[in-house]
Every structure is written in C-alpha cells, then in structure tokens.
Structure 1
Amino acid sequence: MEVIKSKEFIADRAWGSKQIANMQGITTKLHWTDKPYKWHVNDGEEVFAVLDGVVDMHYRLNGAEEIAVLEVGDIFFASVGTEHVAHPRGEVRVLVVESEGSV
C-alpha cells in the first residue's frame, strides 16, 4: 500500500519517473517533466493522463500533424502505431500506463 502525492513528485531529469505498479507486464508510472519528449511510436497501446499542468500533445493522423491541448484530468489514448510527442507548458506531472519496456 502506498499513497502518492503526485503534485509533490519531482524527478532529477526531464521525463524522470516513479514506477507505481507493474501488473502482468503493464506498467503505471508517474512522470515529471518540463521539456518535450521525442516523436515516437510505442510498442503497444499507451494511456497518458495529465495530473498537473498542461501538455500540448502532438500526433500524426493520416500524415498530418495535429495538436490536442491536455489539461488536468484529460487523457490521451495512443493506439498501436500512433506517432506522438508530448510538449509540456512548464512543469507537468503525468500518469502513463503502457507495456513494460515501451519507448
């Protein structure tokens, strides 16, 4: 049992994380960042939930770049093959659920 105060979590580097759980190969991690990630496609599906701050989620749909503005409580679901990159507006904390070892 553990209680995690997500707003108090700070990593020592951008996209640093705290693993919360690994349930049969599906990880749940709390990430802190103040810098964009990189364009990538996950090895499987990904759930990305904003807990603190605002994230501009860039993704490609039929070859065209789109941007979804994600605020606290918003969730982005990346299906298999979805190319995407998160751009935080300042500091953010996000919960990411994905296959263990995914990019």
Structure 2
Amino acid sequence: MSDDTTKNSPGPVLLSDVLGTFETLWSPRIVIRVNDYDVRVAKVRGEHVWHVHEDTDEFFQVLDGVLDIRLREADGERTVTLGRGAVFVVPRGTWHKPHSAEGASLLLFEPSGTPTVGDRHDEVPGHVDASTGHELGS
C-alpha cells in the first residue's frame, strides 16, 4: 500500500491490511482523507490521557476489542463502553479519556491536523503519541 492511497484514493483500502502494517499503540495511521477530515485507524491498549477537543467532535468506531471512554460532563463523570462494531461521538468541549484493558482497534474521523491529545490535556505519558496522525508507511 503506497502513501498515494491516503492522498488520492485510487482504489479500495482494507482496514485489516492497514492495521497489519504497524504495532505501535495510541499512534493513529491516516488511511484516507475525506474533504478536510482524516480517516484514521489506531491500535490501543491501556490508558490514553484526559484531553479535550475544543472545536471538534471526535468519532470512534471499535473495529475489534472493547473500548471504554470516560467522560467528564456537567453532571459528573461517566464511562461509555463500546464493543466491536459500536460507534460513539465525544462532543466538542468534553473532557474524555479512552481506555482499553485488553486492547482494541479503532476507526476515527477527525479534522486533518487534529492532535491525538486534543487542545488541552493532562501530562502525556511516554506510551501516548502526541501527534496529528501518521501517513501510512511512516
């Protein structure tokens, strides 16, 4: 799969193939772009970091495994659990912290250039990639 796939979409992309090209956790790969959005996949396990995206919602779909997303909302904290095939949107301005005890593979939609740790965040631990996603093959 060439980097041209992420830019020009010359043909279908199998997410399972893309997920087979990397092992790094919490380090999304940009599969393709749609208008000004990145379609990203990520492998996750353990804790991410509390963070917030001030100006954009964040779309999650679990491709495999289970993902818990802790949310800080006006009336307190709650956890949303997503199993395989489930989708969820974290509304802009909502502090959240994804976690997967056993590991999961995710599909994410975010505006291009959106940092993985949001606009504001707690201290970023070494296992979390504070990036805007990585092109395939990088």
* Cα-to-partner distance string for 1:50-88 (whole Å, 9 max, x where unaligned): 110011110011051100111011111012111111001
Q: Aligned residue for 2:72? A: 60
- Report 1:1-103 matches (<5 A): 1=11, 2-5=13-16, 9=20, 11-42=22-53, 43-62=55-74, 64-103=76-115
Could you tell me which runs of 5 or more consecutive residues in structure 2 were left unpaired when the two chains were aligned. Answer: 1-10, 116-138
Tell me the TM-score normalised to structure 1 length: 0.86
Q: Percent identity?
A: 24
Tell me the TM-score normalised to structure 2 length: 0.66
What is the one-letter code of the residue matched to 1:93? S
Higher strand share: 1
Higher helix share: 2
- Helix, strand or coil at the partner of 2:39: strand
Shift of 1:16: 1.9
Runs of 4+ in 1 over 4 A off after TM superposition: none
- The alignment yields a C-alpha RMSD, in angstroms, of 2.0
Distance 1:99 1:57 in 2: 20
Bigger Rg over Cα: 2
Distance 1:8 1:27 in 2: 16
What is the one-letter code of the residue matched to 1:98? E
Shift of 1:9: 3.1
Could you tell me which runs of 5 or more consecutive residues in structure 1 were left unpaired when the two chains were aligned. Answer: none
